[in-house]
Amino acid sequence: MASTSSSFNQGYVYHVFLSFRGEDTRETFTGHLYNALDQRGINTFIDDEGLRIGEEISQSLLNAIEESRISIIIFSKNYANSTWCLDELVKILECKKQKGQVVCSVFYNISPSDVRHQRGSYEEAFDMLEERFQDKKEKVKKWRLALTEAANLSGWHFSNGYEFKFIQSIVDEVSRKLNRIPLNVATHPVGLQARVSDVNSLLELECNDVKMIGIYGIGGIGKTTIAKAVYNTIYDQFRYASFLANVRESASHKAGLVKLQERLLFEILGEQGMKLGNVDKGINVIKDRLCRRKVLLVIDNVDDVEQLQALVGGFDWFGPGSRIIITTRDKHLLTAHEIGLTYEVKKLNHIESLQLFSWSAFKRSEPKDTYLEISNRAVCYAEGLPLALTVLGSDLCGRSIRQWESALDKYKRTPNRKVQDILRISFDSLEENEKEIFLYVACFFKGEIMEYVSKALRACDLHPVIGIAVLVDKSLINLDERGVLSMHDLIQDMGKEIVRQESPTDPGKRSRLWYYEDVLQVLTDGTGTDKIQGIMLSLPEKQEVHLKAQDLKKLRNLRMLIIRNAEFFGGNVNLPNSLRMLDWEEYPSPSLPSEFLPEKIVMLELRHSHITLNKPFKNYANMASLNLSSCEFLLKIPDVSGIPNLEQIILEDCKSLVEIHESLGSLDKLVYLGVERCTEIKKLPSVLNLPSLSCIALNGCSQLEIFPNLLGKMENLRIIEADETAIQELPSNMVNFSNLQVLVLKSCANLTDPNRTISSLPNLELLDISGCPKLQLFQKSNESSSNLELSPKACQDFDSSGIESTHGFPLLEALELSNCSLSDEDLHIFSCFSNLTSLDISRNHFLTLPKCFNRLGTLQKLYMANCNNLQQILGIPSNLEHTDATSCTMLNAQSLNLLLNQGFHKAFKFEVIAPRPRLPMPFKFNYHSKEGSMSFSIGQKFPRIALCFMFELGNKRVGFFACAVEISINGQKASNKEQYFLSVSGDLVWLYHQENLIDLNTYLVHEHNHVEVSCDIFDMVKGADVTVCFSGVHEYKEDEEAHEYQYQYEDKLEIGCCTMPENLRLRETSDEQMQELSPSISSEKLEANGSMAQKNRKTRDIFSDNTIHQIKEISSLDMQLYDDRIWDPMLLECQLNNKHEKNKDNIEMEPTDHEYNSNDISVIPMEHDNMEAFYSSLHAETYISLGDTSDVSKLVYPKMSEETRKALEILKELLSKQISHLIEPTSTTSMRTTLEYLCTLIAEDDDVSMRLKSVILQLLADFTQWSCDYNDANMKLESSILVLSKLQNLEEGVVANKDQFSEVVSIESGLTGQLVYLEERMKELQEKISVVKMNISISEVARDAAVRKKRETFEEGRELKAQRDELRKRRLRLRAEQESAKVTKGYIEDEWSKIGEKFDRILKRFELDY
DSSP string spanning 734-754?
Answer: GGG-TT--EEE-TT-TT-B-T
- pLDDT for residue 1220: 61
- Integer angstrom CA distances of residue 592 from 589, 596, 616, 1077: 7, 7, 12, 76
Residues 6+ apart with CB under 8 A from 18: 30, 33, 34, 44, 45, 46, 47, 71, 72, 74
- pLDDT for residue 375: 92
Interaxial angle between packed helices 1250-1369 and 1225-1242, expressed in degrees from 0 to 180 and rounded to the nearest 10: 130
Q: How many CB atoms lie within 10 A of CB 401?
A: 13
Phi, psi of 1070 (to 5 degrees): -75, 160
* Three-state secondary structure call for residue 562: strand
> Do residues 910 and 892 touch, judged by C-beta distance below 8 A?
no
Residues 6+ apart with CB under 8 A from 765: 741, 742, 811, 812, 813, 814
> Do residues 60 and 51 touch, judged by C-beta distance below 8 A?
yes
Select from 12, 11, 28 the least CA-distant residue to 20: 28
Give me the active site residues, please.
88
Q: How far is residue 623's CA from residue 299's CA, in Å, rounded to a whole number?
A: 48
- Integer angstrom CA distances of residue 587 from 129, 550, 699, 959: 100, 17, 26, 40
- pLDDT for residue 1180: 43
Annotate 132-155 with DSSP letters as a single string. Answer: HTTT-HHHHHHHHHHHHHHHTS-E
DSSP 346: P
Q: pTM for the complete prediction?
A: 0.62
Residues 6+ apart with CB under 8 A from 365: 355, 358, 359
Classify strands 102-108 and 14-19 as parallel, antiparallel or unpaired: unpaired
1273: amino acid identity, one letter: A
Q: How far is residue 184's CA from residue 9's CA, in Å, rounded to a whole number?
A: 7
DSSP 1394: H
1165: amino acid identity, one letter: P
Question: How would you classify residue 784: left for phi > 0, otherwise alpha for psi between -120 and 50, otherwise beta?
Answer: left
CA dihedral 479, 484, 489, 492 (to 10 degrees): 80
DSSP 245: -
DSSP 791: B
Q: How far is residue 360's CA from residue 188's CA, in Å, rounded to a whole number?
A: 9
Walking along the chain (1410 residues) 10 residues at a time, the average pLDDT comes out as: 40 86 87 89 79 62 87 91 89 86 89 88 89 86 90 84 87 80 84 88 90 92 92 85 90 86 86 82 91 92 91 92 94 91 91 90 89 90 90 90 90 84 87 94 92 93 92 88 88 91 92 91 88 91 78 88 82 85 90 87 93 88 94 92 93 93 92 94 89 93 89 88 91 85 90 80 88 70 41 39 48 89 84 86 91 88 92 88 91 85 66 85 81 88 88 85 92 88 90 80 82 92 89 75 41 35 36 39 36 35 35 33 33 38 38 37 39 45 38 41 68 66 61 68 57 67 68 70 76 76 75 80 84 84 84 84 81 82 87 85 66
Q: How far is residue 132's CA from residue 545's CA, in Å, rounded to a whole number?
A: 101
- pLDDT for residue 1107: 35
Annotate 67-95 with DSSP letters as a single string. Answer: TEEEEEEEE-TTGGG-HHHHHHHHHHHHH
> Do residues 232 and 6 touch, judged by C-beta distance below 8 A?
yes
Annotate 1208-1273 with DSSP letters as a single string. Answer: HHHHHHHHTS-HHHHTSHHHHHHHHHHHHHHHHHHTT-TTS-HHHHHHHHHHHHHHHHHHHHHHHH
Q: How far is residue 751's CA from residue 774's CA, in Å, rounded to a whole number?
A: 6
